Amino acid sequence: MRELAGKTAFVTGGASGIGFALGAAFAQAGMKVMLADIETGALASAVKSLHDFGPNIRGVACDVADPLSVERAAKASYEAFGNVHVVCNNAGVAAAGGIDNISLDNWRWVLDVNLMGVLHGIRSFLPHIRAHGEGGHIVNTASMAGMNSGLGFSPYVASKFAVVGMSEGLATQLKPFGIGVTVLCPGFVRTGIGESGRNRPQRYGATQTPDPASPAGLLLAQLAERLQSGLDPADVAARVLAAIREDELYVFTHPEMRGELEERFAAIMAAMDKVAAR
């Protein structure tokens, strides 16, 4: 999609962080934008802050873990703007993982938002994009944690690996229809994902904070520090817009993490070489 002006974008997790930066970048490019978020107060503020770009910025309350909520948000987008062309399945959360005190509630919450939320977005919008025939692009937010399991055994890593695989398969199947797919794999970005428990629905139980002295607690503290000094979300959004225009599958943000990927891929290829030699 070379030309974005006049087209419509839908962004989940749009009230803050990368989602808000994407919405701002789309608005600056002349697009109509529907921001979707579970945090209604922050959503209203986000929409208001983008009104300088024009009247075609709206917001809709949306819990991406609920397929009916996503379908309602999709309907609101069609009613507001007509055809939707760019869908960013960006909403994401994080919860403590590790091998001690494994919490099923944590796993269900993170997988429902980070993985099923992406699926719900694809399921709700893809038939519409195929039907209107004007082309389109789907952006799924994964993470470098979806390329390298350096964060250990956690629902976040599992969800992001799944999003990478989904996106790769989706790109192959949608190419003949003129619909592009991008999977965003950022490193550390200045977002509020470390405080995502503030939006945790009651059905997943109370937010659980690990002992600060435990391995999981120490890891969380380290991650929080790295997030504070992370990349500006606006830089990430700019790279995503370029990827949409150039129809690029992968978007990475931290080239210094290349060595971690090479180490993983080397181990995989070594295992393949070993079985080939038998």
Contacts of 257 (CB under 8 A, 6+ apart): 144, 148, 187
* CB-based contact 64:40 (threshold 8 Å): no
H or E element that contains 269: helix 258-276
Q: Decide if 156 is catalytic.
A: yes
Please give the full DSSP string across 204-245, using - where no structure is assigned. G-S-----TTSHHHHHHHHHHHHHHTSB-HHHHHHHHHHHHH
* CB-based contact 10:73 (threshold 8 Å): yes
Q: CB-based burial of residue 59 (10 Å sphere; 0-12 exposed, 13-18 middle, 19+ buried)?
A: buried
- With residues binned 3-state (H G I as helix, E B as strand, rest as coil), the percentages for the chain, rounded to 5, are 55, 15, 30
* CB-based contact 25:88 (threshold 8 Å): no
The catalytic residue among 78, 156, 204, 250 is 156
Q: Which SS3 state, helix, strand or coil, does residue 254 take? A: coil
What is the amino acid identity at position 199? Answer: N
Q: Which SS3 state, helix, strand or coil, does residue 40 take? A: helix
Q: Residue 21: left if φ>0, alpha if ψ -120 to 50, beta else—which one?
A: alpha
Name the residues annotated as catalytic.
156
